[in-house]
Structure 1
Amino acid sequence: MPDAGGPPPSPTTDREKPRWLSPLLRRILLLNALPPALLAAALLYLDQYQNGLLAAEVEALRTQARIYAAAIGEAATRPRDDRTILVPEAARPLLRRLVEPSPNTQARLFDNTGLMVADSRVREGPGGAIVTEPLPPPQPPGVFAGTVAGLYDRLLTLLPRQVRTEVVVDVNPDAPSFDWQPEFGADRREELRLALEGGVRPYIRRTNDGRLLVSVAEPARRGAASVGIVLLTREAREVDARLLDIRVSVLALFSTALVLTVLLSTYLSRTLATPILQLARAAAAMREGEGRGGSVPKPLLDRPDEIGVLARDLQTAARALWARIDANERFAADVAHELRNPLTSVRSAIETLRRIEDPVKQRRLLAIISDDAVRMDRLINDIADSSRVDAELSRTIAQPVDVAPILSALGELHAATRDDEDPVVEIEAPQEGLIVRGVEGRIVQVFRNLIGNAVSFSPANGHVTVRARPTGQMVEFVVEDEGPGIPDAKLESIFDRFYSERPSGERFGQHSGLGLSISRQIVEGLRGRISAENKRDANGTITGARFIVTLPAA
């Protein structure tokens, strides 16, 4: 059974997984494809456009019905007594002649009682037989058009429909045909009355075989008297054809947009997801110890966009982390070396103390043990302080610090505690304009170290000068002494941990060699810089050492 508390799988195992449908690509595809899909759905939802086409079809058919009704009213009627009657024998051929130019149209004529008098699709055949001519069969749509129409019809079942009040639309293929037979009852008689008055609304229906039929009824009049009703029915093939053309065009545009969206989304995913995965693999390789200098691929480092910024920051962070690890390893080795010397001295003194009985030599050995103990105590304190500097600076928020009173206080403190032959500390700094961003306690520690170091190297009754001045965005501090200076080859080494080159005559073990190293830690942790150089006279002779500190102004 696997251990539930084991380490998580390494990100490097993800490189075997397919990336075609990565989560990022799915999100990009969804976001990019949704707008054109909604637009296509909105364009395919063509009820308003369809109603406009149907209204135009109805208006054209109504105009045609009025022409037919007027022609029948003039040519197929005759007066009888005090009224005008319809003549079926004259109306039938006239109606067929009128409909001949419109093969998709069927015209029927009803008298005032609702009885059908003539039908343009019914004629007398050979031998007096009655022949009914059906409407031309509907043209079957192509495979693509039929698929589009089927999908569209299914889509419309899910959407709300908007029906025009002036047009009756019946999309039920099982609806009964429009008829004018009086035996249908009171409802049909009311429709007959409305038709004679010209008040029946147009009727649109879809048949079982997919035909879209439009029917209008117009009264045939002779003068002011109604002699019958002309019912005109036509197949609105142009409406379906135009709607299908628009839907096919919309779907073609949507398909093109979808293909482009997929290609662009894939490209966008590869420019985002693939580099991020490469960065994840680089981070995993760094964690496993591969590539101490950073294993981020060079193409990512050369990118000018945000991915390049992230790659460069990751590379910089990795190098800084390895530098910190190396520094800690060196520090541990240096600490072990520095502690070994006094411990060896103490152990040798103790072993010698056990073998001698001379009180004078015993006191001398005890003094050596005491000095070494003090030296180890000082060394351990400085080591602890050095190890705390980075952690303290990383969690402490830098605040504006006025350095002028700090320098003045250090100068007064030295003047109050100096002996007669000790060097004099002179402060040459303005009383304002020396405000920097930092941590006050650590800034005090830096200047105490530098002034103390300068005093220890200066000759008796010498001078230590501290100067300060603002320089744009930084504030510069200079500490000068009149000592022997620093060897040119050691100008950088003096900031190393445990480096110690003390003036002649000073007792051994009075300093740990961490003062300047801690000062550099503090200054660089405050985004500043510290350096050392030698003072020289006109002849190029070294006249002392100079330490320069620059800190960011607040």
Structure 2
Amino acid sequence: MPDSGVLTAGLQPTAVSAEARIRPRWVSPLLRRILLVNALPLALLLAALLYLDQYQNGLLQAEVTTLREQARIYAGALGEAAVREDDPDNPKLVPDQARPLLRRLTEPTPNAQARLYAPDGQIVADSRVREGAGGAVATEPLPPAVDRGFLLGTIGRIYDRILSFLPHGGEVPLLDTGPSAAGLDWQPDVREELRLTGSNQSREMPPYIRRTQENRLLVTVAEPVLRNRHSVGIVLLTREAREVDDSLLAVRLSILALFTLALGLTVMLSWYLSLTIARPILRLAGAAAGMREGSGRSGEMPEGLLARRDEIGELAHALSESARALWARMDAIERFAADVAHEIKNPLSSIRSAIETLRRIEDPEKQRRLLAIIAEDVGRLDRLISDISDASRIDAELSRVATERVDVAPILSTLAEINEATRGESGPHVELAAPDGRLVVQGVEDRLVQVLRNLIGNAQSFSPPNGRISLRARETGNVVELSVEDEGPGIPESKLEHIFDRFYSERPQGERFGQHSGLGLSISRQIVEALKGRISAENRRDERGRVIGARFVVRLPKG
């Protein structure tokens, strides 16, 4: 009967391995969620700020253009109707004509104030100053500033401060909110401006945009008053850009609402990530801690985690399988240790009994027989320890060594030739039946040779004198099937599975006890299963159903 026994690792081949499930992905579901949460609010805020900047610049540019055209009309009208030409080379403004004309020009624009300055910087006319009866002078203020409330005013100031740090184009100057923007009394350096425009009359004076302490947005432009290509003064036109403020307020409120929405989405998505990532990871950590403490010996994970179809689910499956494999291996080690202790105890008990008997007898013949028994038991212990060491080393070795493509055809041919060359006078013949060509499997060559030698040696033990051992190989689908057949007594039907158990041994009649450790077939199964294959045993029968030998079949994945 075949020699058997193996140190099982507890790792049975599965339909889909953990490595097959965990496949790399260019864009995983988890990565998409993280990118969405991090990029969406930032993108919304960036787009809002840029949009507001461009929108405000456009509004201010339109306001400056309109106001400059209006100032040019004023300057042209004053140059034609309020200038005296006593000296064609030195025309002069006529204040009495300029004042009513400037007031009438400004009347359609209630939010505007126009001032006319002489070349020496002295003010000549102001559209907001009127002379009453008896020479009294009355100043009409601009309409009061619109009260937008503390919150809206604060929002506007914050936006203006933020936009002051952003890059701007050169078409529109930045807002001035400092001390120089305190009120309506700003005026240009009239003499310098007249000098520059006199040397280059195509030059435009830059606009001046400011926000006062009363939160008024004021736009001021200056245009020279020309007569016969001579500058006789400067018109300073200032207007409160309430339309710009109203438009900006509407946009800012929209942005604030959008920001609130983005913030809400961020909070909800963060909470969602917490539910789908952080908490499941904590549950995985708790399950792992339970396994460490022994409460999760079965290696089971919460069903909710195993049902997930993302990386968390894959991790849960991997941890569950790893835990089951670890506990199975630990159980196998415990069983192996118990079996080893039991198997070693038998020869040790025999040796101790022989030594105790040897001390009490004086017959030389009996002493020699007892010494022979001790020698046999020591040899048995040596073989047993060697096989145990080999069985313990195989699993660790196969876990470190990478499999490779191995052609088993030359291995089978070499083993057949060696057995034929070394067989005894009445030893069994080894016959090879394999197709021509290569039979490539995924494995480790040295360990495959060990499996085949174990099976051939087992067949030789049970073959009758001058019997026949057949080595067969063939491809079936995605596997290569190797079989070793003998003409021995076969295997008892109740022992077909147990022959692969550790230390199981049922030897042929007449063989001396203790010549085999019972680990040969066990080691063979350990190697085959570590290579993702399967090994099985069955009886060969003739046409009448009688057992005519045993057959061991090894199936390995094709390389």
- Relative to the length of structure 1, the TM-score reads 0.85
What's 2:534 paired with?
Answer: 529
Letter in 2 for 1:552: P
Using a 3 Å threshold, how does the CA distance of structure 1 residues 502 and 63 change in structure 2: closer, same or farther? Answer: same
The 1-side partners of 2:421 and 2:490 are apart by 27
Residue number among 34, 39, 55 corresponding to 2:47 in the alignment: 39
- Offset at residue 344 of structure 1 (A): 1.3
1:136 is paired with a residue whose SS is: coil
Deviation at 1:547, TM superposition (A): 0.4
Q: Which aligned pairs between 1:287-302 and structure 2 lie closer than 5 A?
A: 287-302=292-307
In structure 2, do the counterparts of structure 1 residues 518 and 67 end up closer, same or farther at CA, with 3 Å as the change threshold?
same
Code of the aligned partner of 2:471: V
Q: Within the alignment, does 1:337 sit opposite 2:342 as a pair?
A: yes
Q: CA deviation at 1:436?
A: 2.4
- Spell out, residue by residue over 1:182-210, the C-alpha distance to the aligned partner (whole angstroms, 9 max, x if none): xx895366368579988544333333333
* Matched letter for residue 64 of structure 2: V
SS at match of 1:174: helix
Bigger RCO of structures 1 and 2 (CA < 8 A, at least 6 apart): 2
Q: 1:378 is matched by which residue type in structure 2?
A: R
The answer for the alignment partner of 1:542 in structure 2 is: 547
Is contact 2:198-2:230 (8 Å) kept?
no
Contact 1:198–1:217 under 8 Å retained in 2: no
Within 5 A, what are the aligned runs for 1:10-89? 33-44=41-52, 46=53, 48-72=54-78, 88-89=95-96
What are the equivalent positions in structure 2 for 1:14-413 lying under 5 Å apart?
33-44=41-52, 46=53, 48-72=54-78, 88-110=95-117, 115-156=122-163, 158-160=165-167, 162-164=169-171, 170-174=176-180, 177-179=185-187, 187=192, 190=195, 200-219=205-224, 229-413=234-418
Greater displacement, 93-102 / 277-286? 93-102
Asked whether the 8 Å contact 2:220–2:239 carries over to 1, the reply is yes
| Matched AA of 1:461 | N
Distance apart, 1:324 and its partner CA? 0.6
Identity across aligned pairs (percent)?
Answer: 62
Give the CA deviation at 1:453: 1.0
Deviation at 1:375, TM superposition (A): 1.3
Question: Alpha-carbon deviation of 1:145?
Answer: 1.6
- Residues 287 and 301 of structure 2 are in contact (CA less than 8 Å); yes or no, is this contact kept in structure 1? yes
SS of structure 1 residue aligned to 2:279: helix
Task: Say which is worse superposed, 253-262 or 374-383, in terms of deviation.
Answer: 253-262
Which amino acid in structure 2 is aligned with residue 39 of structure 1? Answer: A
Contact 2:113–2:237 under 8 Å retained in 1 = yes
Query: Which consecutive unaligned segments of at least 5 residues does structure 1 have?
Result: 1-24
CA distance in 2, matches of 1:71, 1:186: 21
Alpha-carbon separation, structure 2, partners of 1:225 and 1:291: 99
Secondary structure of the 1:533 match is strand
CA distance in 2, matches of 1:285, 1:197: 86
Give the Cα separation in 1 of the matches to 2:444 and 2:202: 100
Aligned equivalent of 1:478: 483
Unpaired runs of at least 5, structure 2: 1-32
Paired position in structure 1 for 2:24: none
Structure 1, residues 279-318: CA drift from partner, whole Å, max 9, x if none?
1111111111112111411111111222111111111111
Report the CA distance shift for 1:188/1:418 in structure 2 as closer, same or farther (over 3 A).
closer
In structure 1, what residue type is equivalent to 2:70?
A: Q
Aligned counterparts of 1:473 and 1:511: Cα–Cα separation in 2: 35
Aligned-pair CA distance for 1:114? 5.4
Deviation (angstroms), 1:488: 1.8
Q: Structure 1, residues 404-442: CA drift from partner, whole Å, max 9, x if none?
A: 232223222222332333222211123531232322222
Deviations for 1:81-137, whole angstroms, at most 9, x for unmatched residues?
Answer: 979875544543343333222111112334566554432211123544211111112
Q: 2:245 aligns to what SS in structure 1? A: helix
CA contact (8 A) 1:114 1:192 kept: no
**What is the one-letter code of the residue matched to 2:286?**
R
Q: Is the 8 A contact 2:198 2:231 kept in 1?
A: no
Contact 1:148 1:248 in 2 (8 A): no
1:552 corresponds to: 557
Query: What TM-score do you get using the length of structure 2 for normalisation?
Result: 0.84
Q: Separation in 2 of the partners of 1:197 and 1:483? A: 119
CA-CA distance at 1:235 after TM superposition: 1.4
The CA RMSD measured in Å over matched residues stands at 3.2
Paired residues of 1:218 and 1:231 also in contact (CA < 8 A): yes
Secondary structure at 1:512 match in 2? coil
Give the direction of change, closer, same or farther, for the CA distance of 1:225–1:524 in structure 2 (3 Å limit): closer
**Equivalent residue letter for 2:102:** L
**Distance (Å, rounded) in 2 between the aligned partners of 1:546 and 1:435:** 22
Give the Cα–Cα distance (whole angstroms) in 1 for the partners of residues 39 and 214 of structure 2: 41
CA drift of 1:221 comes to 6.1
